[in-house]
A and B are shown apart, each in its own frame.
Chain A
Amino acid sequence: MTPPPLARLALSALRRLVPVLAAISVLVFSIVHVIPGDPAVIAAGLEASPATVESIRRDLGLDQPLPVQYARFVTRALRGDFGTSVRTRAPVGQEILDRLPHTATLAAGGVLLALVIGMTVGTASALSSHVVVDRLLTAASLVAASTPSYWLALMLMLLFSVTLGWLPAIGAGTPAHYVLPCLALGLQSAGAVARMARAAIRDVLTQEFLRSARAKGVPEWRVLLAHGLRNALLPVVSLVGLRIGGLLAGTVLVESVFAVPGVGRMMADAVVARDFPVVQGGVLVVAAMVVVVNGVTDLVAAALDPRVRA
């Protein structure tokens, strides 16, 4: 008995998770140990004696050979134990769990904004009978897609917090705190989505099945929504799946600027301090998120696409 196609897809996505995470664990472990900088030295501070540094190094297990360190890292990680932060001495798993909701909220909000703004602008641009409107919208999406999120974040803060005073500039806690960070994070993707949606809709509009639908007497709004937009969504969903990694990378900058206590900012701080356990744990969790989201977008694409579904 074969499982239904969607379940099969879900299973294969899950199976992909294991080798990807295994590969990433090796990669991250190697990278943190190759880059210069000694966590024990940084943890000890500039005024410490070499004996203290050596003792901290032993405490962290950094005096062991690399393969031993890796084996220990993996066996502990399998039990859900990512070790202890070099900087704060707090358990890494807890540090990540505390921050994950903020990053997940930001990423979800960013994707949602990207989809809503991008699809609206893309559709309007594709259906617009005015060349000028189309050109303006296309230009706007190009600008949005090319604006660095770091600069955009500061400009949003300057406009909406300092000049207008509508939204809080920094922090987390209330929904209002997430508006500007989500905008800063999602706008770049919104530009890309708009461009993709416009091209896809333009493409779909020339397809024969639309003409058949119209010939059958289907009302125009139904033709556009049920047949046009639905098919145009396919490449957009794949695009969002591809961009999720970039979006999560963007949280590093956006969380730092808006002082959101998320995983991205934690990892940035950890890299600066060579806090290996935090970097390793953080990257693994984020990588797992990317793989899962990619799996989900594959499923959504399959649900939308009759060819994949079959």
Chain B
Amino acid sequence: MHACAPHRLRHLTARLLAIALMTAAGACGGDSAGTSATSGLRDRLVFAAAADATTLDPHNTTDTESDQVIMMVYEGLLGFDDAMKIVPKLAERYAVAADGVTWTFHLRSGVRFHDGAPLDAAAVKANFDRVLDPVANHKRLSLFSMIERVEAVDPATVRIVTKYPFGAFEPTIAHVSAAIVSPTVAAAKGKAFGSAADAVSGTGPYRVASWKKDQEIVLARFDGYWAAKGATREIVYRPIPEAAARVLALESGDVDVISRIPATDIPRLEQRADIAVHKLPGVGAQQFRFNLAKKPFHDARVRQAISYAINRPAIVQNLVASFARPSTSALTSIMRGYTNLGEIPYDPDKARALLKAAGFPAGFKTRIATTPRYPMGVELAEAVAADLKKVGIDAAIEVYDWATMVQFWAGLPPEKNTQEIFIMGAGASTADADWGLRPIFRTAPTNENNYGYYSNAEFDRVIEAAMRETDAAKRQALYTRAQQIVYLEDPGAVWLFDTLYSVATRTAVDGVRPQALGVVTFERASVRGS
């Protein structure tokens, strides 16, 4: 039969046959393994993280590398599924009263923390009291500022009352920093909670078995987990700060999974038969923002002109094709509240006309601040500057290290901020329009989060109304209007592209995908082989 196949096809046929045989063998192996679920699977998976976790205290972290370990160890009342839908976790069910501010959570029964303590309403209340304690300096305090009080109604029921009806309450409670930690261990460890393996305790599918700083975190499957237990007994996080070394470690088989892959390595890894690259659009987007307190950026026409002057398709194609796709709004497509407003076209003539109308027929001089912390951060600034040059705007590039860059975004009053155009990576960690727009573009006296002093009266009104709107359809209509204002009519930024999160695995690894929040988790991960 095979002899009849044309010569060129024979290879392909043989390869397909081999794959079919292997798949069949795999299936048989699975069957013959009988009741042992782990047969044919390895006991440990090794993940090369880009950095060690700074802390495993969920109430006190803002970095991805810590968050992705925390998500394996802790859970909140609510959580996100793969499609970023809200799902109940430690709360079995929940409801909001007619007043729009009283939320009642019914806790799942029989849930225990890794230290053996039971999860009850008192534990949940202790957690919210902990994160909201103004003296403790927990970094996530501002995220929960809408909470008025938390009550333990009975051991299985928690009531959370908000100061006003809050449209984004559920994603906020599903956020990683609303995770419930063991109050026993938290109280015993005080400020050291989350800083060592014995100072961590959650309810998640994995517990921290050991943590050697900068060397490895070993997570062990938690046998007392209330839901489906993990497929792999141990998950090892090995921080490799150097991106090139991370890629080599995957190629040599030292590690099974890597994230934060250098853009230039993605096409090569995609070619390899023993490595699989997975990509996913998430909450992340790359922008250049304007300092509206500086002239001429107070003029919407100037900002529109700059937006039209940038050849986004060329920039994406030439610099970031392996991890980007064009932006279509001020939010990314997976976020609640997103409206597709289309890509901003490349139109240098329109840009020149707008500049002329704004009183700059010959363009002007400006500066672009950037940081190599963002992938291709410097190259992107150079490309933007080259496009601006074509419409007469002469932009000098200033490169800062991260620590210096964030100085400009730390609650400075306008007169103290010298930046004009600056790079910014956006990514609302609740995957919701409220956190994605409100802190960033609502009028504020300093630039604590509204780094460019954006101010638009209609936007402020719409965003405030949307925040307090709990009706889904009305809420969506308000956010559509807000995006039209800040993306098209009175642009607060040049949206360059939405970021694709990528993860590369050995092909023996199953169940590992990037997630929309930019983290990688392993609760369903398995590695074939012995």
Contacts and interface: CB of A to CB of B under 8 A. Distances in A.
Interface in A18-56: 36-38, 41-53, 55-56
Given A169-B245, A169-B254, A171-B254, A89 B213 contact: no
Contacts of B139: 43-45, 47-48, 52
Given A98-B212, A257-B245, A266-B214, A89 B410 contact: no
Given A169-B245, A256-B241, A261-B214, A49 B406 contact: no
A274 B254 contact: no
Per DSSP, chain B at the interface is loop
Interface string B466-485: 00000000000000000000
Contacts of A98: 212-213
Interface string A258-302: 110110011011001110000000000000000000000000000
Given A259-B238, A259-B245, A261-B212, A50 B446 contact: yes
Contacts of B404: 36-37
B143 A53 contact: no
Nearest to B251: A162
Interface stretch (A118-126, A153-161, A209-217): A153-161
Interface stretch (B2-10, B12-20, B26-34, B47-55): B47-55
Contact of A89 (B51, B191, B245, B253): B191
B244 interface: yes
Contact of A269 (B51, B143, B401, B407): B51
B184 interface: no
A170 B448 contact: no
B137 A261 contact: no
A99 interface: yes
B479 to A, nearest CB: 20
B68 to A, nearest CB: 16
Given A36-B404, A90-B213, A171-B215, 17 more contacts: A44-B62, A46-B406, A50-B411, A51-B134, A52-B139, A53-B411, A56-B137, A87-B54, A89-B55, A154-B245, A168-B254, A173-B215, A258-B245, A261-B213, A261-B215, A265-B241, A272-B401
11 contacts: A38-B403, A41-B410, A44-B62, A46-B449, A50-B446, A53-B410, A90-B213, A154-B245, A157-B245, A162-B252, A259-B48
Contacts of B242: 256-257, 259
A47 B143 contact: yes
B245 A52 contact: no
A37 B62 CA distance: 18
B274 to A, nearest CB: 12
Contacts of A43: 139
B245 A170 contact: yes
A151 B42 CA distance: 34
A81 to B, nearest CB: 15
A218 to B, nearest CB: 52
B238 A171 contact: yes
A51 B372 CA distance: 29
Contact of A265 (B214, B255, B448): B214
A61 to B, nearest CB: 13
Contacts of A36: 403-404, 407
A165 B251 CA distance: 10
Interface of A: 36-38, 41-53, 55-56, 59, 87-90, 95, 98-99, 153-154, 157-158, 161-162, 165, 168-173, 256-259, 261-262, 265-266, 268-269, 272-274
A250 to B, nearest CB: 14
Nearest to A37: B403
B245 A42 contact: no
Contact of A50 (B62, B212, B410, B439): B410
A266 B254 CA distance: 22
B241 A269 contact: yes
A45 B63 contact: yes
Interface residues of B, number: 53
Given A89-B192, A165-B252, A261-B212, A47 B142 contact: yes
A242 B216 CA distance: 34
Contacts of A37: 401, 403-404, 406-407
B210 to A, nearest CB: 12
Nearest to A89: B195
Contacts of A269: 51, 214, 241
Contacts of A170: 48, 238, 240, 245, 249, 254-255
Contacts of B252: 157, 161-162, 165, 168-169
Contact of B403 (A49, A154, A265, A272): A272
Interface string B128-145: 000000110111111100
B215 A161 contact: no
Contacts of B255: 170
A264 to B, nearest CB: 11
Contacts of A257: 242, 244-245
A50 B139 CA distance: 11
A52 B141 contact: yes
A41 to B, nearest CB: 4
Contacts of B142: 47-49, 52
A258 B138 CA distance: 34
Contacts of A53: 410-411
Contact of A158 (B248, B403, B429, B439): B248
A269 B53 CA distance: 12
Given A45-B139, A47-B62, A154 B240 contact: no
Nearest to B51: A269
Contacts of B410: 38, 41, 50, 53
Contacts of A59: 137
B239 A272 contact: no
